Structure 1
Amino acid sequence: MKAFPDKLKHKLEQRQQANALRQLGIQNGLVDFSSNDYLGFANSETLFNQTHAFLVTEGLMINGATGSRLLSGNHSLYPIVEDLLCDFHKSSSALVFNSGYDANLGFFSAIPQRGDVILYDEYSHASIRDGIGMSLAKSYKFKHNNLQHLKELIERFQDDNQDIYIVTESVFSMDGDTPDLKTLVKICNTHQAYLIIDEAHALGVFGTHGCGLVQELELEDAIFARIMTFGKGLGCHGAAILGSHNLTQYLVNFARSFIYTTGLSPHALVTIKVGYETLNTTNALATLKSNIEHFQSELKRLDLEPQFIASNSAIQSCVISGNKRVKSIALQLNNKGFDVKAILSPTVPKKQERLRFCLHAYNSKTEITNVLEGLRTFVSNE
């Protein structure tokens, strides 16, 4: 038997030649401009202690769920957390999944049926695209945030005998930009299409107490399904799909990524609970907003604004064409003490490679100024 298939080895060699070979890194102690921990909850000792105290007080000295939620894993914390989610997000029903990836995989593989049509933004996250790939429905992408192109596709595929599902993100993970959600809702209402919004990078960043962009715009009643992911602004793990009671019942019966996996541990669910309770009291959201405004002000001062994609979110992306060049500038910033990641093709399209700056409530104004001044120097020297 060969040690490793030649076809697979060749694909790895191609990645290496394109300066695109992915490798696992380690935590480096640099100033964090790369993680999704926007509010600092992931490293909060207070949240950790509150989670532990609740488990001890309730006598929940359990390490795992013991099985899928349809067997032995639907322990008492699930309804507590799902009721909390319904109240916080003004939703009729909520269903917790093990991750945002699992939620999107489960939703798009189960809900759209054969003969239906899925229209998705071309920059939709890999989890959405993978779920769509498992669906029996036909799918077509529309140009990024281009609602005119979306309308043309709706009119092309609209038929009385099929349902149309439209999916986008409220904040895009690689660009940090947002669609015109109000106009999108009007389009869906006009054409009786079902709208799905992934709020992964909006939770903890937009809206009252970080409730997300959909609620900030008061559109929650117009959305067929919202996917809320807890691994970013909430600093923990897991996700939930928000929608109607019928949607939840259908997912429990047909979403394979929900049915055939072990449930979350009690510790994971209490961490979600404590994270949401902290959103109601923390000042971190205001600090994060102030840091985003300072970052944007410094871009103008340093004449870097033209190289950045317009964004009001915690994600700020500087387009630097070419894997080799963007990796070189990222390394120079790393050597100056800043953890900034290069996003390479094929993760993003060729010539759209970028440095992705993730801003946090715990970044100081001085750190933001220093990293951007370093960026200006290194870009000019390349």
Structure 2
Amino acid sequence: MGLFDKHLAYRDAYKAIQQAGADPFTVRFDAVVSPTEGIVDGRPTILLGTNNYLGLTFDEKAIAASVKAVQERGTGTTGSRIANGSFEAHVALETALAKFYGRKHAMVFTTGYQANLGVLSTLVGRGDHLILDADSHASIYDGSRLGHAEVIRFRHNDPEDLAKRLRRLKDVPGERLIVVEGIYSMIGDTAPLKEIAAVKREMGGYLLVDEAHSMGVLGATGRGLAEAAGVEDDVDFIVGTFSKSLGAIGGFCVSSLDDFEVMRVICRPYMFTASLPPAVVASTLVALEQMIAKPQLREQLNSNACRLYDGLTALGFVTGPAASPIVAATMPDVERAIAMWNGLLQSGVYLNLALPPATPDSRPLLRCSISASHTHEQIDQVLKVFAEVGTALGVIDGQQRAFA
């Protein structure tokens, strides 16, 4: 037996992908020239898989703040905040996040993945109960494994199933933490948060919402699904990331619960990971300010999302339940999904290939993520290429080609 023998099935599947054409795991960009365009193999390519929702990766003010910070503070902190202390910008960012969400406390993590890993493994422990939506992100599942709470899954977006599972815990000792996401990352559907909040009020427990893909996207001010659904008072913890709408990297958790600050001395992923470098913190602070000051970015993002979603649906592609900045087209089989992804890339469109078992219903997906910076011309070009490649591969019948 070899060390990697248990992974041979994945190796063989990966080889099959490589033999079919370009390798989605090792795509190399010669250059990234804007939030929506890169160069791949010398070819101008529309970027449709980057989660750059508000297009802030090239914001001039954010770039200037980042450059200034690296010149004045160096390239990194070289240690955790417990060991090496906090820079003033770390505290400023946490203060800004707490104010934005109207919460008393905020903690910043080095990645969004780490935020879920740290928060979930720390809030509940042995004897407690962690109740997860079945389609939760990998970081949520990994956070549940790092802790020692009992993990209970309920059917995706099913408040009745959540209530049923909570009823089974009646009179059972231990805390209950319910975890859902604002926008789910594979097909872009949203949680029925108003109904889930009602279950939480009736049955008790705490509610955490991961707003990674909904921060800056949903809500009157961009605070996410909890704001859009009008249930912010029912949400005890909000986790999010800087790597989507804010165009950087990092994660956070905000809350108004008393004693939240003890997390800084008991949350191992926070305590034992080097803190965010000054340049990233500086750009994130400015990006947050820009997100707040420019609601038109959110309006343009949602307009673009509807344009792509409606266009793909009109062409005959199987799409998700509603338009969102994540627009996924379900493919009939893995072979055509890989071929379609290759055909799109060769025609100047880069997006994400999602294969089972990573997909919600074990069907392959082509996952698009829209930006406020995409032009109508770019979206229409994407639809034209989808129509051409989809027809050639028999994914659609070619009779509906409004964008051809």
SS of residue paired to 2:374: coil
Note closer, same or farther for the CA distance 1:262–1:16 as it changes in structure 2 (3 Å cut): closer
Q: 2:47 corresponds to which residue?
A: 32
Which residue type is aligned with residue 13 of structure 1?
R
Q: 2:307 corresponds to which residue?
A: 294
Q: 1:246 corresponds to which residue?
A: 258
How far has the Cα of 1:175 moved from its partner? 1.3
How far has the Cα of 1:12 moved from its partner? 4.7
Q: 1:336 corresponds to which residue?
A: 347
The counterpart of 2:146, out of the listed 127, 131, 134, is 134
Q: 1 CA distance for matches of 2:198 and 2:361?
A: 34
Structure 1 stretch displaced more, 267-276 or 16-25: 16-25
**Count of aligned positions:** 375
The counterpart of 2:81, out of the listed 43, 66, 69, is 69
Q: 1:284 corresponds to which residue?
A: 297
Identity of aligned residues (%): 27
Q: 2 CA distance for matches of 1:349 and 1:148?
A: 20
CA contact (8 A) 2:107 2:254 kept: yes
Q: 1:273 corresponds to which residue?
A: 285
Residues 1:359 and 2:370 are matched in the alignment: yes
Q: 1 CA distance for matches of 2:120 and 2:280?
A: 25
Q: Where do 1:249-268 residues align within 5 Å?
A: 249-268=261-280
CA contact (8 A) 2:135 2:360 kept: no
Tell me, which stretches of 5 or more residues in structure 2 are unaligned?
Answer: 30-39, 394-404
Q: 1 CA distance for matches of 2:280 and 2:116?
A: 19
Tell me, which stretches of 5 or more residues in structure 1 are unaligned?
Answer: none
CA-based RMSD: 2.2
CA contact (8 A) 1:90 1:220 kept: no
TM-score by length of 2: 0.87
Question: Cα deviation per residue 1:47-104 (whole Å; 9 max; x = unaligned)?
Answer: 2013334x38xx8333222421112231211221111111111111101011111111
Which residue type is aligned with residue 326 of structure 1?
A
Q: 1:7 corresponds to which residue?
A: 5
How far has the Cα of 1:247 moved from its partner? 5.3
Residues 1:370 and 2:370 are matched in the alignment: no
Which residue type is aligned with residue 73 of structure 1?
G
Which residue type is aligned with residue 364 of structure 2?
E
SS of residue paired to 2:195: helix
Residues 1:97 and 2:109 are matched in the alignment: yes
Q: Where do 1:196-207 residues align within 5 Å?
A: 196-207=208-219
Which residue type is aligned with residue 292 of structure 2?
N
TM-score by length of 1: 0.91
Q: 1:216 corresponds to which residue?
A: 228
Q: Where do 1:45-194 residues align within 5 Å?
A: 45-53=60-68, 55=69, 60-159=72-171, 161-194=173-206
CA contact (8 A) 1:73 1:262 kept: no
How far has the Cα of 1:8 moved from its partner? 5.6
CA contact (8 A) 1:91 1:220 kept: no
Q: 1 CA distance for matches of 2:162 and 2:332?
A: 28
Which residue type is aligned with residue 369 of structure 1?
D
Which residue type is aligned with residue 299 of structure 2?
A
Q: 2 CA distance for matches of 1:72 and 1:163?
A: 34
Structure 1 stretch displaced more, 208-217 or 227-236: 208-217
Which residue type is aligned with residue 227 of structure 1?
V
Which residue type is aligned with residue 34 of structure 1?
G
How far has the Cα of 1:281 moved from its partner? 2.3
Question: Cα deviation per residue 1:294-342 (whole Å; 9 max; x = unaligned)?
Answer: 22332354343xx001133200111113222101011111111111221
CA contact (8 A) 1:100 1:229 kept: yes
CA contact (8 A) 1:171 1:177 kept: yes
Question: Cα deviation per residue 1:170-226 (whole Å; 9 max; x = unaligned)?
Answer: 000001000111111110011112111000001121123422221233322211110
Q: 1:327 corresponds to which residue?
A: 338
Q: 2 CA distance for matches of 1:235 and 1:346?
A: 28
Q: 2 CA distance for matches of 1:349 and 1:216?
A: 24
CA contact (8 A) 1:209 1:285 kept: no
Note closer, same or farther for the CA distance 1:368–1:111 as it changes in structure 2 (3 Å cut): same
Structure 1 stretch displaced more, 247-256 or 357-366: 247-256
